[in-house]
A and B are shown apart, each in its own frame.
Chain A
Amino acid sequence: MSDWRPTADFSALSRRAQLLAAVRALFAERGVLEVDTPLLASAPVSDPNIEAITTIAPEGDAVMYLQTSPEFAMKRLLASGSGAIYQICKAFRRGERGRRHNPEFTMLEWYRPGLSLQDLMDEVAAVVSLAVGTIESAHFSYEQVFVQYCNLNPHRASLAELKACARSHLDLSFDSDDRDLWLQLLMSSVVEPALDGTILSFVYDFPASQAALAKTRTSAQGPQLASRFEAFYAGMELANGYDELRDSGELVRRIRDDHLRRAESGQVLPPIDRNLLKAMAALPECVGVAMGFDRLTMLACGAARIDEVIAFPLERA
């Protein structure tokens, strides 16, 4: 067979190269500095839903991690006074392989001190338009899309209501007492496919329980919300943006919660990134976003599979 050949054709690889140049030009014009941080990291993220690929340190026998996103290192740059920065780099996530996933993928991540989440959403739209031309954007709160497509309030619905809603749409093999699992299932299997694929949809104000490293706040109506958004276009999740958490005490609490969840499900407990903890105090007010660059290229090429826009996916690596 011809398995040594690329899965992407050269018109796609050429479009990919053009898009890389266009993204760099956009950030250069806006005065955002391109940076480059290590792919080989001493500590991975603690998020129980993301598993890093481990490797052995170049010297000694310590375990090191292929980074799952450049977030921690970039925050150390921000805390050191870098100002606005972006990076286009490889990120690695164990077990993530599918039509839109390769365990080694290209991430476009950027941070903007002093900008608002709204400004950042506008900038995400500008980047997406490099791939697909000028498009319309729309903004919906997490609550709005759940009310519209699932007919329930995601902050107030009981666990039983969430389960019943999921089971009315999907045939499931599992049960769980984790509210967020049901919300994430509804989001990815009911809401996301229902969003208008011809416009760039931003969903913002996630439940605080899904804050990751975003700030949380108490809304006027009561529920605790996370100041973050996700962007969707053509039925695909493209980007995740945060108003970045700056409180190291809160960061430690979130890492502890992640570790508790990891311990419950028998996952490994990775080391904590002490450098990030130390840097947090100096992190400026900033917003940041991570975008799947391969997916952006898929949009530019009209590709249905990630394999159409990367030369050598996992099986040919």
Chain B
Amino acid sequence: MANYSTNEFRNGLKVMLDGEPCSILDNEFVKPGKGQAFNRVRLRNLNSGRVWERTFKSGESLEGADVIDQSMEYLYNDGEFYHFMDPESFEQFQADLKAVGDASNWLKEQDICTVTLYNGAPLSVTPPNFVELEIVETDPGVKGDTAQGGTKPAYLSTGAVVKVPLFLSIGEVIKVDTRTGEYQNRVKA
């Protein structure tokens, strides 16, 4: 991989730091009128999700990380691994629960997700911003109550639990924002 100097550190650039793949979040150039220049850099460790703040001497460089984001179709879960497929090459990838993380709440077969590959293996999975999922368990719907503010928990086909309005019933399909876990609206069948 190429090396990147501090002046090439851009937000989103993927680099290796202490043997860990990281994504640069912020790079602040700090230089007195007289004296050494430094770069105060915030990076997200893509393995742990932790954010690091590291100070570099300007001109230092880091090795690029072989990290790419790729759109993939979610195929199925075999009980241990989640299987994804590149819809163009039909190449398949399996990700463990550590890589999938909270995205497991929102994975529906055939949905297109963003799979982040590190050295060719899935490092993390980002679900679509909005998914449509079926309610498999909730209290009975309250007819006509479409205006009141009340909510109740609903269990979805993926195992996720979201708060939904009182009028919804088992079997209905709803749209959820995966970034906040919030109910958006009912999807007409």
- Any B CB within 8 A of the CB of A101: yes
Chain A: how many interface residues by the 8 Å CB criterion? 30
Interface stretch among B29-37, B122-130, B149-157, B158-166? B29-37
- Mostly helix, strand, loop or mixed at chain A's interface? mixed
> A187 contacts B32, CB within 8 Å?
yes
Rounded to whole angstroms, the CA-CA distance of A210 and B33 in the bound complex is: 12
Q: Which residue of A lies closest to B17 (CB)?
A: A173
Interface residues of A in 165-184 (CB under 8 A from B): 170-174, 176, 180-181, 184
Q: Which residue of B lies closest to A183 (CB)?
A: B35
Q: How many whole Å from A284's CB to the nearest CB in chain B?
A: 23
> A185 contacts B29, CB within 8 Å?
no
> A96 contacts B36, CB within 8 Å?
no
Instruction: Select one of B7, B33, B35, B54 contacting A171, CB under 8 A.
Output: B54
> B29 contacts A49, CB within 8 Å?
no
- Any B CB within 8 A of the CB of A98: yes
What 0/1 readout, one digit per residue, does chain B (83-107) give for beta carbons within 8 Å of chain A?
0000000000000000000000000
What 0/1 readout, one digit per residue, does chain B (39-66) give for beta carbons within 8 Å of chain A?
0100000000000111111111000000
**Residues of B with C-beta under 8 A to A292:** 33
Q: How many whole Å from B56's CB to the nearest CB in chain A?
A: 5
**Residues of A with C-beta under 8 A to B52:** 171
Instruction: Select one of A174, A184, A239, A290 contacting B35, CB under 8 A.
Output: A184
What 0/1 readout, one digit per residue, does chain A (87-116) give for beta carbons within 8 Å of chain B?
000000001111111000000000000000
The 7 closest A-B pairs by CB, nearest first: A98-B29, A184-B35, A240-B33, A184-B36, A170-B55, A174-B57, A173-B56
> B58 contacts A95, CB within 8 Å?
yes
> B36 contacts A185, CB within 8 Å?
yes
Rounded to whole angstroms, the CA-CA distance of A187 and B32 in the bound complex is: 9
> B54 contacts A189, CB within 8 Å?
no
Rounded to whole angstroms, the CA-CA distance of A153 and B96 in the bound complex is: 53
Rounded to whole angstroms, the CA-CA distance of A89 and B11 in the bound complex is: 33
- Any B CB within 8 A of the CB of A143: no
> B31 contacts A187, CB within 8 Å?
no
- Any B CB within 8 A of the CB of A130: no
**Residues of B with C-beta under 8 A to A210:** 34-35
- Any B CB within 8 A of the CB of A275: no
Instruction: Select one of B35, B54, B60 contacting A188, CB under 8 A.
Output: B35
Q: Which residue of A lies closest to B18 (CB)?
A: A173
Rounded to whole angstroms, the CA-CA distance of A100 and B17 in the bound complex is: 26
Q: How many whole Å from A115's CB to the nearest CB in chain B?
A: 20
Rounded to whole angstroms, the CA-CA distance of A24 and B77 in the bound complex is: 73
Report 9 cross-chain contacts, Cβ distance below 8 Å, ordered by A residue.
A95-B58, A171-B52, A174-B56, A174-B60, A180-B35, A187-B32, A187-B35, A189-B38, A240-B33
> B33 contacts A230, CB within 8 Å?
yes
> B7 contacts A49, CB within 8 Å?
no
Given A170-B55, A184-B35, A290-B33, 19 other A-B contacts at CB below 8 A? A49-B35, A49-B36, A95-B7, A97-B7, A98-B30, A100-B29, A101-B29, A101-B31, A171-B54, A173-B57, A174-B56, A180-B36, A181-B36, A185-B36, A188-B32, A189-B38, A212-B34, A230-B34, A237-B32
